[in-house]
Amino acid sequence: MAVVTRFAPSPTGYLHIGGARTALYSWLFARQQGGKFVLRIEDTDRERSTGESVQAIFDGMNWLGLAHDEGPFFQTQRFDRYKEIVQQLLDAGHAYYCYCSKEELDALREQQWANKEKPRYNGKCRDSAEVREGVEPVVRFRNPLEGNVVWQDAIRGEISISNGELDDLIIARADGTPTYNLTVVVDDIDMGMTHVVRGDDHINNTPRQINIYKALGAEPPVFGHVPMILGEDGSRLSKRHGAVGVMQYRDDGYLPEAVLNYLVRLGWSHGDQELFSIDQMIELFRLENVNKAPSTFNTEKLQWINQQYIKSVPVERLIEALTWHLEQAGIDANNGPSLEALLPELRERANTLVVLAEACRMFYQDFESFNEGAAKKHLKVSSAEALELVKTKLAALDNWEAEALQQAVHDTAEALEVGMGKVGMPLRVAVSGTGQSPSIDFTLAMLGRERTLARIDQALAYVAQRAEQAR
């Protein structure tokens, strides 16, 4: 049997981290089984669904590289099909019209609250609906009264729910539009779903859906309910915890492969391995090894994983991902050393691409002022001598290479009988503006002669001005 799984988001907001993880698990399982992965947009709630949100889902899935094999399907384009099935259920006696008014239902609910009973429909129209002129009825599913609904959850193990707990749910509203539990079953049948991997917030819907499958004479798929994600304070992950749309992680400088790696580990493990290539995830992921308990989101861990990826992805891949950030930061990487030469050094110290792009800036952009603290400390009046001498030595070099550059700094310190830091630090602040840069020889080599000398001049001008003010 060929495996078919799906991701079926409702487009009522961003693709958030929990949704992305559910999509990943579903996608991994399909890929591993050589099956198909379907994308379905559950947009029947027309008031809450937006085109913007549909686009955010596409963008997020695309950025993460979770490609679908079929779809995207849109539920709003399948209303005729749902009507047909509702009619089929009515004809077979598995569904019935209900004319109960909102007032009646409200009164019923209040009474049940007062009696400390679970609010549920009392089945008034189940056997003898009194047709009311001028009232458009809803359609309710005739849920079995007896027995239990039992399924082997791929993640949770056996789950059993008594039919006594379930009432006759509405499958079509008075205006004829179908409800979630109906549309999801019709789609999962029509789209040949073999495995439904979804959030455990749907666990209460599953027995209802299984009853609808049975009424339609269809075999239910295997269900796997993924536990939720908690914020670090133990409450459900929300915006408050910085849980944001997936695309925000791109904006914040995460590599999609790092996000996937983080997500696969958030609720699943394989021994104590932390880093997984996509191929390894596909090979090793098992639904039955997904944790039954909720997982806690941990930004530090995500950053750590991101850093590992920034250090280790092929440099071409790093450049590809970084290019967008350089553009965002207004840095023109044509205006300086090649990124291939620069990144092996800079990537060692960046935990996000935003940080990495900023570390690149000094190699492509001149600056007009120095970081105040750094300048105050290292561009002193007394630094002028070291800067002058090192400039002379650097200017005299025939070859602008790390070793010779290092030697020039060294010779300057020796000639002035000072420690290396007395030359190195002013020089570093002079060329970087901030004092933050890789090793001085590498930095100078990457900056090139012209930029280096011009920046030393700029620093000397600053020092001269300081000397002027001190007088």
Annotated catalytic residues are: 239
What is the pattern of x (binds ligand GLU, CB under 6 A) and - over residues 421-440?
Answer: --------------------
Which of 27, 29, 39, 42 touches ligand GLU by CB under 6 A? Answer: 42
Nearest CB to ligand GLU, comparing residues 195 and 393: 195
Q: Which is nearer to ligand GLU, 188 or 257 (CB)?
A: 188
What is the distance between the alpha carbons of residues 148 and 159, in angstroms, rounded to a whole number? 10
219, 213 contact by CB (below 8 A): yes
Min dist. Cβ of residue 14 to ligand GLU (A):
12
The structure tokens 């071409």 sit at 316
CA nearest neighbour of 76 among 46, 51, 54, 53:
46
Q: Which residues pair with 410 in a beta bridge?
A: none
Q: Are 227 and 266 in contact (CB under 8 A)?
A: no
* Beta carbon nearer to ligand GLU, 225 or 325: 225
CB nearer to ligand GLU: pick between 177 and 308 = 177
Rounded CA gap, 251 and 327, in Å?
Answer: 12
CB of 62 to ligand GLU, least distance (A): 18
- Alpha-carbon distance 293 to 266, whole Å? 11
Smallest separation, CB 202 to ligand GLU (Å)? 5
Judged by beta carbon, residue 140 or residue 198, the one nearer ligand GLU is 198
Using the contact rule CB under 6 A, the part of the chain among 5-13, 43-51, 95-103, 426-434 near ligand GLU is 5-13
Rounded to the nearest whole angstrom, what is the least distance from the CB of residue 52 to ligand GLU in the complex?
16
The yes or no reply on residue 68 touching ligand GLU (CB under 6 A) is no
What string marks each residue from 6 to 35 as x (binds ligand GLU by CB under 6 A) or -? --xxx-------------------------
Pick the closer one to ligand GLU by CB: 8 or 375. Answer: 8
Q: 178-217: which residues touch ligand GLU (CB under 6 A)?
A: 184, 198, 202
Minimum separation from the CB atom of position 45 to ligand GLU (A): 9
- Number of residues interacting with ligand GLU: please give it, by CB under 6 A: 7
Question: Segment near ligand GLU (CB under 6 A), from 2-10, 78-86, 221-229, 385-393?
Answer: 2-10
Rounded to a whole number of angstroms, the minimum distance from the CB of residue 26 to ligand GLU is 9
Residue nearer to ligand GLU on the CB measure, 10 or 269? 10
| Min CB(193)–ligand GLU separation in Å | 10
The residues that touch ligand GLU, with contacts defined as CB under 6 A, are 8-10, 42, 184, 198, 202
